Amino acid sequence: MILLCRLNEQTGQLTMLAGAPKGNHTLRVNVRDNKWQKTVTSTVTANVVYLNDTVVESSASIRLAGLLCNEQYLY
């Protein structure tokens, strides 16, 4: 089996590894809610595309933290 990604189990951050082939990759993940003692299985699709240096150098990212799933912050 070829390893295409790395999952940080503490944060849920999924990182595609160098050399992952272009295209859609479907992953099945188990998510545990310790407050409600529930585990669910979900499907995640990662679309891998190759980016040139200009695109990467001009990119930005945003990380949201401390949000509850029943609260609406984005409009």
Mean pLDDT of 24-49: 87
Q: What are phi and psi of 56, to 5 degrees?
A: -65, -45
User: CB-hemisphere CA count at 13 Å for 39?
Assistant: 3
Does pTM surpass 0.95? no
Selection from 26-30, 36-40, 59-63, 69-73 with the highest mean pLDDT: 36-40
In the chain, domain spans:
25-59
Contact 42/28 with Cβ under 8 angstroms? yes
